[in-house]
Amino acid sequence: MMRTRTVARVRCLSRLFATVLVPCAIGCRAGDAPDAPDATFLVEDSAGVEIVESARPVEGSRVGWRIGPEPAVTIGVRDGDEPYMLYLPSSSFRFPDGRIVVANRGTEEVRVFDRFGTHLTTLGGEGGGPGEFGSLMDVAPWPGDSIVAWDSRDHGISVFDSGGDYGRTFFLQSGADHPRNGPKPVAARLDGTVLSVDELRYGAHGMDPAGPVTADSARVEIWDGAGERLADLGNQPGEEVSLVTHPRGGGAEYVADAYSGEFVVAAWGDLVVAGPNKPYEIRAFRGDGRLARIVRLEHEPRSPAEADQRIYVDRVTGVGNIEPRTGPPIPEAVLDLRRQFFESVPLAEHFPAFSTILADDTGHLWVREYDYPQEEGSAPIWTVFDPNGRVLGYVETPAGLQIQQIGEDYILGHTEDELGVEYVQVWPLERAGG
């Protein structure tokens, strides 16, 4: 495991990384980034990989960017016309002309609104025909002001033109006997390529308890608009897992440790970010699959405590859920066995170093700070890096807003009210001093 190192104000690297580094001939200052801290280091190794290390910004500080004080556009109503009643909006984005596209998973529809939030048209719908969805997952912009939307059931990727007309559906040609057994699309890029993740679960022996206890891993690949593979980023480490025995002789299975690291993928300009969210190391790859940049931020690992384990067990067993359960109640004996099982799941050695990663439309990288279970409820804090990977500082975003896109002068996300009614909102963003 990599040890965390405090970055001094002026020094060069004093140890070798996993790859052989050239001497610290590049200046140990941020140079042309006036808002970046002096203690940022740029190092290029013999393979041409740029390594950027930054000191952690001062606790409680904020970049001079401002969000708020209220949303400029809100889509969603408690009661009203059908297009405005959102149900499980999984993702959304805004075109440069202001149109807002929402994947409404609850109805298997892609809904399009104008810049003021007025409904324009609805695409797709539930079914197995052209342009229909069995389990709508996400939407994304596509070249020519087109829209792509993919289905989590068969992983088909459907393309709709700028006028909303269905064009075609393509699949990632993995060689699997069925698309659902192969790589899963997770993001589309503006250059007309698709990122996929193919999960490799728990080592070569799968769920076989006789097999080795290994970390979960994932393979990330880049595909063109015809479903042909362009690049393979290789196997990337994922969750930490352990073999857990079911109570009362119910066998055993591999389960992710409580507060295990997770795998994150994001498009960052012409680069692709892929890797686990611990330690605080962001790895960015070129379009041909070669590693291009490693971004590291000073981070002190924090270990879960006994109280965190209780919170974990409550979550996975459904304690405290506000939504009523449909159907017959689960017998108490079954609930008790389930709780005993998850109480046996080991705690990860450390919490994840960060949570979500998003790249904004100007090339800045936004990394959401991890929400520790005993400290949740406050407004999310994001660490912002410039397009070269040098840290700028912290930005606070509205509480309860799950951000899905960050533009030059806006953020777009999903939220819900105290009754569970869901909304898509656009908030103004002012990049003062940046």
Quick count: other Cβ atoms within 10 Å of Cβ 324?
5
Q: Give the lowest-confidence range in 272-276, 336-340, 377-381.
A: 377-381
Per-residue DSSP letter, 82: G
241-267 pLDDT per residue, tens: 888 998 877 788 888 899 998 889 999
In this predicted structure, what is the pLDDT of residue 7?
Answer: 28
Asked if residue 202 has pLDDT above 70, the reply is no
- 361 dihedral zone (left: phi>0; alpha: psi -120 to 50; beta): alpha
Phi, psi (degrees; rounded to nearest 5) at 330: -75, 130
- Average pLDDT over the chain reads 83
Number of C-beta neighbours around residue 350 at 10 A:
19
More confident residue, 160 or 152: 160
Comparing 75-79, 169-173, 184-188, 246-250, the range with the smallest average pLDDT is: 246-250
Written as six digits, the tokens of 295 are 């971004």
CB 241 within 8 A of CB 202: yes
Task: Look at residue 370 and tell me whether its pLDDT is greater than 70.
Answer: yes
Neighbours of 253 (CB within 10 A): 16
- For residue 96, the model assigns a pLDDT of 95
Are 368 and 399 spatial neighbours (Cβ–Cβ below 8 Å)?
A: no
Confidence of residue 317 (pLDDT cuts 50, 70, 90): confident
Residue 166 is inside which H or E element, if any?
A: strand 166-170
In three-state secondary structure terms, 186 is strand
Classified as helix, coil or strand, 310 is: helix
pTM of the model as a whole: 0.84
Taking phi over 0 as left and psi of -120 to 50 as alpha, with beta for the rest, 14 belongs to alpha
389-415: pLDDT as tens digits: 999 999 999 999 999 999 999 999 999
| Cβ atoms of 186 and 193 closer than 8 Å | no
Higher pLDDT, 2 or 290: 290
User: Residue 18 pLDDT more than 60?
Assistant: no
pLDDT cut 90: percent of the chain above it: 66
